[in-house]
Structure 1
């Protein structure tokens, strides 16, 4: 399976208390755990192109995703991974498919990739105003954080809905970089 999609997300960091409050307000439900393993070249060629490569594993299914930042939002190219393809990636070689093709278009020659670590997210999702609210508790590099994301139909709509919700709940907006940026900002590889 392969898909390319445009993602429009607005997000804010939360305190643990704000996270708990929002979980109660939306109706606490069991979170889905997803493991995000991050890859880049030794020279961080993807990072230099404001792109990121991850494998997300949830419910025993692995998906390889290339995320590329644009002015409008995030373009994501996804491809399902089988065990053999994941083993190949862990040796530094990209498996054939849409993600490899997109990386070739971005970088030219496809270099070897290195695994830099894992971020685990416990996510609860709720339908909300033509989009989806995600309440995330993430653990990575001996840290944890809490975040609210709203995935909407455009960046303007996503930002407006998130800001209104935070204002209604008397929660201060706290700018949040995306998870991969937070992961690498705390990574021992870049210190």
Structure 2
């Protein structure tokens, strides 16, 4: 189990801006890896109402269960447990609840019963990462519910410095500021629209 503070800046990109940045930073298909996020919440969206999110992420042979909660002050607190492939398959098929002890502990602290969790759906992302001025630039192309979106993230340790660098980066590459919701929020928005909610 790990727990860490996440400070990141996000901006939505057009397909053309994404392609242009990939060309500028010499990113090819070989630089991208695929990851799959399975999102969970209760029937009445208890996690969403707490501005929190729960996912199981598959990256190659690594399986992580992560709960994101608002941190005191800035950023998000992430609690992560590693799972086995067999555990993930069992959870996704509905045969068992989480086998993530630290995450379950945090859920109970939030008064959420792990047995009440349901899978909301799955989002596929192709991701490339590069180090940039003391932080990490993340290029994401995500596909979910018949939708493609493109996003730039900048992960940092210092919010104030990170914001200056990120704003300067966007200006340097003539990219307008377009705030980006969390992936789970974008996913839910599209799913609700498709369901006419």
TM-score by length of 1: 0.93
TM-score by length of 2: 0.90
**Conserved? CA contact 2:46–2:112, under 8 Å:** no
Change (3 A) 1:108 1:185: closer
Change (3 A) 1:45 1:108: closer
Q: 1:149 aligned to 2:153?
A: yes
Change (3 A) 1:96 1:175: closer
Greater mean alpha carbon deviation, residues 78-87 or residues 162-171: 78-87
**Conserved? CA contact 2:83–2:100, under 8 Å:** no
Query: Cα distance, 1:87 vs. partner?
Result: 3.9
Indicate the SS of the match to 2:141.
strand
Aligned to 2:190: 186
Q: 1:164 aligned to 2:164?
A: no
Cα distance in 2 for residues equivalent to 1:41 and 1:129: 40
Query: Cα distance, 1:25 vs. partner?
Result: 1.2
Q: 1:81 aligned to 2:80?
A: no
Greater mean alpha carbon deviation, residues 80-89 or residues 173-182: 80-89
Greater mean alpha carbon deviation, residues 82-91 or residues 27-36: 82-91
**Conserved? CA contact 2:65–2:100, under 8 Å:** no
Cα distance in 1 for residues equivalent to 2:62 and 2:158: 28
Query: Cα distance, 1:118 vs. partner?
Result: 0.6
**Conserved? CA contact 1:4–1:78, under 8 Å:** yes
**What is the root-mean-square deviation of aligned Cα atoms in Å?**
1.6
Aligned length: 190
Question: Where does structure 1 differ by over 6 angstroms across 4 or more consecutive aligned residues?
Answer: none
Aligned to 2:129: 125
Change (3 A) 1:190 1:101: farther
Cα distance in 1 for residues equivalent to 2:121 and 2:180: 20
Cα distance in 2 for residues equivalent to 1:9 and 1:66: 16
Greater mean alpha carbon deviation, residues 67-76 or residues 32-41: 67-76
Cα distance in 2 for residues equivalent to 1:96 and 1:138: 26
Query: Cα distance, 1:108 vs. partner?
Result: 5.2
Query: Cα distance, 1:19 vs. partner?
Result: 0.4
Q: Which runs of 5+ in 1 are unaligned?
A: none
Indicate the SS of the match to 2:104.
helix
